[in-house]
Structure 1
Amino acid sequence: MRRSLVGAGCALLLVLTGCTATGDGPAAAPHSPSAPAHRESDPTGVIVHLFQWPWADVARECRETLGPAGVAAVQISPPQEHVVLADQGFPWWQDYQPVSYGLTSRRGDRAALAKMVETCHAAGVEIYADAVINHMTAQLFGVGTGGTKFSRTGYPGYDGAADFHHCGHSIAQWSDRSEVQNCDLLDLADLATERAPVRERIAGYLNDLLSIGVDGFRIDAAKHIPAADLAAITAQLDRPAVIYSEVLFALGDPIQPEEYLPFGAVLEPRYGPDVTRALRFGGSLGALAELGVASDSPALDFKPSARSVVYIDSHDTQRGTSTLTYADGGLHALATEFMLAWPYGTPLVMSSFAFTDFDASPPALPDGTTRPVVCGGSAFVCEHRAVLPMVAFRTATAGAPVTEWWATDDQLGFARAGRGYFALNRAAAPVTRVVQTGLPAGRYRDLLHPAAVVTVDSAGTATLTIPPASAISFIKA
């Protein structure tokens, strides 16, 4: 059953007295997830999605920035050979149209990929590859990034007649399980994953990536692969790997994320829009009080925290309007900082390239090869860097429930059970508030504003001045 939010009576008293969690005070522990036992296939820590970054730049970012910050893993763009669509300006989505499972893409070749994995491992960062295994291309013929020629269903290692579904059309009836999983997604040649040779071919590709050190996989378009087929494929992996599947939720849909939980986690696509609605103009931060908490409507609940990968935006959603993106500037940063402070799910932090056109290519040379990463301007945005101090907060507060929650429409704050405190202000003016931190007396440095120090008294209270459109975050040493 859902619990009530902060009582109105405390909102006025808090500045003067620092209300406690009794009577009309802040709700105590509005979010205390009970996690199922961890499995090797479940992701943990903080993942950063370096979307479309060349392998050499991923390696440098691991060594110089992500490893020192404590980031657990990087999600990389699809590493397999893909179609080249020069006549369409090398759109970003060409990488999601495989030509072969050779490891040559616009971001680098097999040697560069292996070197990047080695460098990231040395920095303590794992690598999760975006695995496109539901389909091949939507083209009648062409040549891939590795020089492989192909036709509509003619690809290396596949029987064009037997190894593909021949539905005759793209998916139209999304309420029909058979059509969603046996017809072409956006005209992409659909692999017959129920066939043993196809399963073996896909597993061979994933095992090749494991052999050079890749640690896990985001399964692209997993909803279009029957869960039984995907389970049979992942059962053939040579060693344990992190798995998280893209299974977009829709109430009443015949294909549900639960089907994919036995062999990995799933992406939780409702998280970003929920946080976005609360933070955008007209929304209330109080709506976030029980984000991810189980309710009396299980069909509507998020999946278990340990089995869910959450994100504010992705390479798909940032090209729509349902979520905040880098283009929203500080508001997007606040949303991401909240995600890193809140205990539900495994956070996936987006790092984008700037675009004004849906199909835009990442910064590229004339032949379509991705340019080296230069942050800022009209190139790579690198918005992940601004929120990296929150990785330390998430690590320090892991497993601690939320306590001392309070919220207004424009501000919120909460403690993480004696380990840390987080507060956020989306308003255009600073806000001063006396809060109960649950922390021992002492002086604490603000992770997001290193020059600022927060003093906690012997009663555990502190007077916080939260800057405009900003957040405060501090942890127990």
Structure 2
Amino acid sequence: MAKLALFIPLLTACLMATVARAQHNPHWWGNRNTIVHLFEWKWSDIANECENFLAPQGYAGVQVSPVNENIISAGRPWWERYQPISYKLITRSGNELDFASMVRRCNDVGVRIYVDVLLNHMSGDFEGTAVGTGGSVAEPSKKSFPAVPYTAADFHPSCDITDWNDRFQVQQCELVGLKDLDQGNNWVRTQLIAFLDHLIQLGVAGFRVDAAKHMAASDLKFIYDNVRDLNTDHGFPNNARAFIFQEVIDHGHETVSREEYNQLGAVTEFRFSEEIGKAFRGHNTLKWLQSWGTAWGFLPSEQALTFVDNHDNQRDSGEVLNYKSPKQYKMATAFHLAYPYGISRVMSSFGFDDRDQAPPQDASENIISPQFDVEGACTNGWICEHRWRQIYNMVGFKNAVRGTGLSNWWDNGDNQVAFCRGSKGFIAFNNNNYDLNETLQTCLPAGTYCDVISGAKLNGACAGKSVTVDGNGYAHISIGANEFDGVLALHADAKL
């Protein structure tokens, strides 16, 4: 009996560890390995984009905006989507039928869907009765959300977060006034699990968990462990678990740390975003990026959800790069997709002049669909960085070099660097104010290759620069200081 008593907890621990590891699997199709955040897009537009652009260009998945009903706020700021009022699947992006159709269509072409889910809170205070995008009503000031239903008994007592080093305040008080759900409450847990289960039934591959830091890891573990397996009708294997990546802002000195969550699923590595921005803004030399990753204090690669910017920090001042600094942004994104670290997500934004700005909308406040020019770029208020040639071709680079390591790092002791990815890829960067002209080891087989940054291989020809690699793998690499792009990238699939 003593041996059996010892064995049972060990078996339970092993099973829980297996579940936790499974929740780090994004369930990518083929060699694809990049997620794009189509921020505030409509479900029908995402379905079209999966079929017409994302699958052909090798994207692995889409992070979508919150899917459940939210309050209607004056001017329709983007953040109203983060003020839920019920778990009905109806937002400005579409209704449940639209969402289900989108998930099916994207899965059918091998593009996975990850939903931004709001488990921490409901809407904040609203003058009088709040009305939702699905017609539900609530009185947030009284913590009354009858469409769920939730009452005041389902929330933590109201308090403000005034001390970010106080665990109680961070996890039980109200983040920017949002009514803080009690995830230890059985009724709340039941509602949240049912919500996630419903999304899984519809075919999603996983979740981005908003404000995870503001919920106790033990409560999240209970919720994750009790969510159903992925739906095999959508091409997932038996017993597959949802991919989970959690928003935990941790600069390395937080009382509530990312290490409390990284065994439950991946964690957003915000320091990656800040440090890569600092480097390509010229505030840190590129040569130091040779040790990029865990040596910089980042999470282990398979636990880190990495990005140059996200929908929040692209709106902040500071080191983080966004689409408004396009040359440096494309360089940072190319490094992000070329260096073998992290679970990569690229941002696809709409244009903004102020932090609260709504997505592109018509006079009736309906979100409008992106429109495209002859080169496929967006034209009507949508930025669509994922459609920039320099970015989607680097998604192809990342696919081509998947499974290879980094070798043959070269730098000039400053802001010119280059490296190989096995024998499959080579990339070089010039962030100096003078030209890069070097003969470098590319690690590629002899031949002529198309630089996928300046152009693309089409019908056996290159629309941009071409580079000839000799029998020993060497090639002359040139990137002018004043060139449109500060990157050159070659890979095996771009051989002419």
Could you say which TM-score interval applies, normalised by the shorter chain? 0.7 to 0.9
Matched, 1:65 2:53: yes
1:432 is aligned, of 433, 437, 447, to 437
* Pairwise CA distance, 1:263: 2.0
User: Cα deviations across residues 357-414 of structure 1 (Å, max 9, x unaligned)?
Assistant: 1100001133432111235456000111121111121122223221111224332110
Q: Deviation digits for residues 295-330 of structure 1, max 9, x if unmatched?
A: 6xxxxx111101111000000001112311011112
How does the TM-score come out when normalised to structure 1? Answer: 0.87
Residue correspondence of structure 1 range 259-298 to structure 2 within 5 A: 259-294=260-295
Contact 2:244 2:266 in 1 (8 A): yes
SS at match of 2:135: coil
CA contact (8 A) 1:48 1:71 kept: yes
- Give the match's secondary structure for 1:302: coil
Contact 1:54 1:373 in 2 (8 A): no
Deviation string 1:208-249 (CA, Å, 9 cap, x unpaired) is 111111111000000001111111111121112110000111
Taking the aligned partners of 1:52 and 1:170, their CA distance within structure 2 comes to 29
Q: Which amino acid aligns with 1:262?
A: Q
Tell me the CA shift for residue 138 of structure 1.
Answer: 0.7
What is the CA–CA distance in structure 2 between the aligned matches of 1:281 and 1:447, rounded to whole Å?
24
Residue 472 (1) aligns with residue 488 (2): yes
2:287 maps to amino acid: G
Map of 2:6 onto structure 1: none
Show the counterpart of 1:200.
190
- Which structure is richer in relative contact order (CA contacts within 8 A, separation 6 or more)? 1
- The residue aligned with 1:348 is 345
Partner deviation per Cα, 1:248-292 (whole Å, 9 max, x = no partner): 113332211111122210010011111111111343111211110
Describe how 1:44-63 pairs up with structure 2 within 5 A: 45-63=33-51
Counting aligned pairs with the same residue, the percent is 38
Report Cα offsets for 1:115-144 as digits up to 9, x if no partner. Answer: 111111122100000001100001333100
* Aligned twin of 2:235: none
Q: Distance in 2 between matches of 1:180 and 1:261?
A: 18
Check whether the contact 2:404–2:422 (CA below 8 A) recurs between aligned residues.
yes
- The CA distance in 2 between the partners of 1:407 and 1:39, in whole Å, is 38
Matched to 2:22, the amino acid is R
Alignment of 1:26-425 (within 5 A): 39-43=22-26, 45-86=33-74, 89-140=75-126, 141-152=129-140, 153-155=143-145, 156-166=147-157, 168-239=158-229, 240-294=241-295, 301-321=297-317, 322-374=319-371, 376-377=378-379, 379-386=381-388, 387-408=391-412, 409-425=414-430
8 A contact 2:280–2:431 mirrored in 1: yes
Q: Which moved more, 1:39-48 or 1:337-346?
A: 39-48
The 8 Å contact of residues 115 and 207 in structure 2, kept in 1 or not, is answered as yes
Shift of 1:348: 0.7
Stretches of structure 1 that go unaligned for 5 or more consecutive residues are 1-36, 296-300
Question: Which residue pairs with 1:7 in the alignment?
Answer: none
Q: Secondary structure of the residue that 2:410 maps to in structure 1? A: strand
Decide whether the 8 Å contact of 2:71 with 2:85 is kept in 1.
yes
AA paired with 2:478? T
CA contact (8 A) 2:294 2:301 kept: no
Partner SS for 1:388: helix
**Aligned equivalents of 2:82 and 2:336: distance in 1?**
28
Q: TM-score, normalised to structure 2's length? A: 0.84
Cα distance 1:195–1:390, how it changes in 2: closer, same or farther (>3 A)?
Answer: same
More divergent stretch after superposition (142-151 vs 250-259)? 250-259
Aligned length: 433
Residue 38 of structure 1: how far off its partner (Å): 6.2
Aligned partners of 2:23, 2:325: CA distance in 1, in Å?
Answer: 36
Residues 38 and 157 (structure 1 numbering): CA distance in 2 closer, same or farther, change over 3 Å? closer
Q: Identify which range, 323-332 or 367-376, moves more after superposition.
A: 367-376
CA contact (8 A) 1:158 1:198 kept: no
Unaligned runs of 5+ in 2: 1-19, 230-240, 373-377, 457-461
